[in-house]
Structure 1
């Protein structure tokens, strides 16, 4: 029984532009430590084979130090490592795959055509290819069929299955089914997929091992798998992220906003990055999102609070008054009713709140 890991899309040296400068720098340091953490897992779990399906670097211009640290981490792995460079870290002049000296246990695929490496000790052949530019319109798996030689054949590629446009190694389901591969380790899609089978070929995307923004939510990690001598594949997802991005929606209607948020939070959030969306009905003043952020910030690695509440209906009821306040509310309610989408209604709601605060000489911040 051969044990393997399938990971992809580390995106080391990402900018983390939404964070403060110090937090962004810290997150980049943490991303460079990912390889060493993975090496500890590989060795402690006696993993034989590591398949890395591209975009390990966020760009071909990654810092040399980052490439050298990844090489050092992979060198520690008591396993064979195979890398298929992707569209962000494509193989070419100036790329870390060319400028850094990679250890002997690491094989980096370097051409846009499928090539093979035999591992006779496991009766196994590993096939793979590389992006050699930022886009790859021709499908790397097109026309590929593994030989019928009694070996187990696995593949590692960065790409998309049945995409709407052919930019990032388009792969057709029929090509996977005809490939003769036992397992196809894929990268490029940052959200983990369950395994899929086409013909007799099992394939999957593990997603990225660390989220980088609120478009990459929840548990992140990699797949650990086994390959039997008869070619049976099993996969287990291993959560591995140091920090998670989460979006939490909290209805504060008729409640103290801070108490409502604290009641909705899980117990452990101090390592994670949260965006809290406040919904429901509130009074004229709405919610002081800045004050709430300041009060709760210590419970998170990073926190963002957004006020998506709407005006309580009884506030609009005063639009019938024969006063400047009534005239103002009638005008804004007409605009609110005619608004084309929620974004426009949110903008009008903010205008109402600031306008009423000005009429009442209140400080709304």
Structure 2
């Protein structure tokens, strides 16, 4: 039996932190489109069930279009069973929009609900809460009240923060804390989690494992890894399971640090940056350009991206790093204009530092020399502020 585990779709996110309103609107539709593509993929792959481990939506203000599209898409795939567990961003607003939920959609509440998906595959889940009817629940209550049969293949759905270490000072669990040690020896085969937006996994005990699929689409530059869902292929007789992370996002987000140490002009900075971006895209740069790039840094960026290649439809934040001489010409407006059209969204951040070799100006009788000496000799100004004043002054003098 094939089962898809996804989470943290955050449909109807505003997405206006980086994007203008036009592209934010377009991106919101892409997130919804990815959900619809997922269902088409699941149907073609003969998937029996889809687990949605929380944060299907971003806020309570779910648009009519999104709510209708989600409900309609579930109804249009009666061959698939859907299990929807609300996360900390979800409310009942979406569920209340439908006069009746689709017959193939199952939900959870703040006590364990269990569904037998087939002869021996059971899906269990609950919405974590530290209180019930105003009373504080006992420690480990969620884990202590979970009763699973050893002979079943048990899938448990939860939304929260996994804590793998055990503290002797641990008090009653909070809404987002999932102490893995509490769930050991509970006959769990696969814990389908949501809440963390990056793929991660670990062991519960000798029998079972926990897994976060991450979100379907990255929304900001703190979500630059590959994104998609987990495909589970379970042998119902032997309980053996094959697991695969499917990279499914429409666009990827990239953080690209570029070391421009020693460069002297804006056009040189653009050339160095384009060379690195081209290399990340799998397009060979000239040998002259390649020798100036850090191969280990390129490898690290690609590993963080999940091994994919940079594409024009992606979103990129370039971070200029390193040290530039105080007299180097660096025009950020020009640099951004030369890189802006390379990708769907391009952002350039300046994280460089200026350096001054004061010895060069000791006998320099130019205006620059006089200015730098006067700032350097002012004992009332700290070294850090001196560097800033000199940088601003040099920019004015050289017209950058």
Structures share fold, TM-score greater than 0.5: yes
| Counterpart pick for 1:261 among 273, 296, 306 | 273
In 2, Cα distance between equivalents of 1:331 and 1:23: 50
Map residues 83-94 of structure 1 onto 2, 5 A cutoff: 83-90=84-91, 92=92
The alignment status of 1:278 with 2:314, answered yes or no, reads no
How many residues are treated as equivalent by the alignment?
345
TM-score (norm 1): 0.85
Alpha-carbon contact 1:223-1:235 (below 8 Å) kept: yes
- Mapped to 2, the partners of 1:60 and 1:209 lie a distance apart of 20
TM-score (norm 2): 0.78
Mark the CA change 1:45 to 1:349 in structure 2 (over 3 Å): closer, same or farther: farther
Q: Residues of 2 paired with 1:238 and 1:333: CA distance?
A: 60
Aligned twin of 2:125: 128
- Superposed displacement of residue 334, structure 1: 6.2
Please list every run of 5 or more consecutive structure 2 residues that lacks an aligned counterpart in the other structure: 131-135, 165-169, 282-309
Q: Is the 8 A contact 1:320 1:330 kept in 2?
A: no
For 1:354 and 1:288, how far apart are their aligned partners in 2?
Answer: 13
Q: Determine helix, strand or coil for the equivalent of 2:116.
A: strand
Give 1:4 shift: 0.9
SS at match of 1:247: strand
Please report the RMSD computed on the Cα atoms of aligned residues, expressed in angstroms.
Answer: 2.8
SS at match of 1:96: helix
Aligned with 1:116: secondary structure?
strand
**Does residue 114 of structure 2 align to residue 113 of structure 1?**
no
1:17-166 → structure 2 map (5 Å cutoff): 17=16, 18-77=18-77, 78-90=79-91, 92=92, 95-100=93-98, 101-109=100-108, 111-119=109-117, 121-130=118-127, 141-148=142-149, 150-162=151-163, 166=173
Contact map agreement 1:35 1:74 (CA 8 A) in 2: no
Contact 2:74–2:102, Cα closer than 8 Å, also in 1: yes
Change (3 A) 1:274 1:319: farther
Tell me if the contact between 2:129 and 2:174 (Cα under 8 Å) persists in the aligned partners: no
Task: Quote the Cα distance in structure 1 between the aligned partners of 2:25 and 2:217.
Answer: 15
CA distance in 1, matches of 2:141, 2:379: 57
Q: Distance in 2 between matches of 1:243 and 1:114?
A: 36
CA distance in 1, matches of 2:190, 2:379: 60
Cα separation, partners in 2 of 1:257 and 1:151, compared to 1, 3 Å: same
Correspondence 1:222 to 2:229: yes
Cα distance change, pair 97–276 in 1 and its aligned pair in 2 (3 A): same
Residue-by-residue CA offset, 1:65-97 (whole Å, 9 max, x unaligned):
21111122223333111011000003x4xx202
What CA distance in whole angstroms lies between the structure 2 residues aligned with 1:331 and 1:54?
60
Instruction: Decide which of 237, 240, 249 is 1:232's aligned counterpart.
Output: 240
